[in-house]
Amino acid sequence: MSIHTPKIDKKVTLSTIAKMKGVEPITMVTAYDALFAKLFDGEVEMILVGDSLNMSFLGKEDTLSATMDQMIYHTQAVCNGATLPMVVLDMPFGTYTSPEVAVKNATRAYLETAAQAVKIEGGKERAHIVEALTQNSIAVLGHIGLMPQFLRSDGGYKIRGKAQADIDTLVEDAITLEKAGVFAIVVEGVKPEAAEAITKAVSVPTIGIGAGNSTDGQVLVWSDMFGFFEDFKPKFVKQYCNGAKEVREGLEQYRNEVKARQFPSSEYTY
């Protein structure tokens, strides 16, 4: 008998997410494998198979070299583990450079995984890509503000929305993306005033990360929030448990017991 009671008991769809704006904050976390996706099943409305897996899973420096093959492989794993959350596949850098390229790659995501949507980074300069995808029945989650895939062209990870002119640009980006058909927008690394202005300007939900408390939902990377990623901790990350410490303690106990021939005791022996 399971002692765990899931908080969500029906499959989350695009219409579930649309109806949550202004009613109840949306929870989203990243996952890259079936085991963690299963832990998150019934607990959060959305799971993002983020290209952050390039750091959190593969140990690379940034997200840039993630490939469509990797995203598909990890999304398949996540879909095997999670039955209820909406699963979103993050389109990696270079896979949506034109409407044709984007439709080809996103169609592959739909054909080879059970993801319900894809995410692409970019504001109004990427609206034509969003339009092409949605016209081909592919649901799109937008992503504006700090966009990790454009790290090199933007000259680093820069917090956005510090000046009114930039807030206006971000609001215009969000409105244009909504018109192009996104069902929700991730707003990353912006000042809270900017996130609030964006959230008020659009009728689709905004999902914040490092964007304060006024967005319609929040997303965090699982390895950050559970204390497994130790290279650095951005200011916006709250660690809800210390995963790395727990694993180290468990490992140390295992090592000591093996060395002392305490494990396996008769309890763990056939």
- Residue number, 50 or 217, with CB nearest to ligand KIV: 50
Selecting among 188, 230, 249, 267, the annotated active-site residue is 188
What number of CA atoms fall less than 13 Å from residue 127's CA on the CB side? Answer: 13
Q: What are phi and psi of 22, to 5 degrees?
A: 75, 0
Closer CB to ligand KIV, 167 or 186, in the complex: 186
Least CB distance to ligand KIV at residue 219 (A):
5
Least CB distance from residue 175 to ligand KIV, whole Å? Answer: 20
Residue whose C-beta lies closest to ligand KIV: 50
Q: What is the 3-state secondary structure (H, E, C) of 68-118?
A: HHHHHHHHHHHHHHCCCCEEEEECCCCCCCCHHHHHHHHHHHHHHCCCCEE
Specify the DSSP element, H or E, that contains 225.
Answer: helix 222-225
Positive/negative CA dihedral, 166, 167, 169, 173: positive
The residue (of 81 and 210) whose beta carbon lies closer to ligand KIV is 210
Using CA of residue 63, residue 73, residue 35, residue 268, what is the dihedral sign?
negative
Which residues sit at the interface with ligand KIV, rule CB under 6 A?
30, 48, 50-52, 90, 186, 188, 209, 219, 221
| Minimum distance of ligand KIV from residue 250's CB (angstroms) | 27
Please report how close the Cβ of residue 251 comes to ligand KIV at its closest, in angstroms. Answer: 27
252 among known catalytic residues: no
CB of 220 to ligand KIV, least distance (A): 8
Pick 63 or 176: Cβ nearer ligand KIV: 63
The answer to whether 114 touches 86, Cβ cutoff 8 Å, is no
CA 56 to chain centroid: 12
Instruction: Name the amino acid, one letter, at 135.
Output: Q
Closest to ligand KIV by CB, 94 vs 263, is: 94
Cβ contacts of 162 within 8 Å, gap of 6 or more:
191
Nearest to 26 by CA among 37, 15, 17: 17
Catalytically active residues are 188
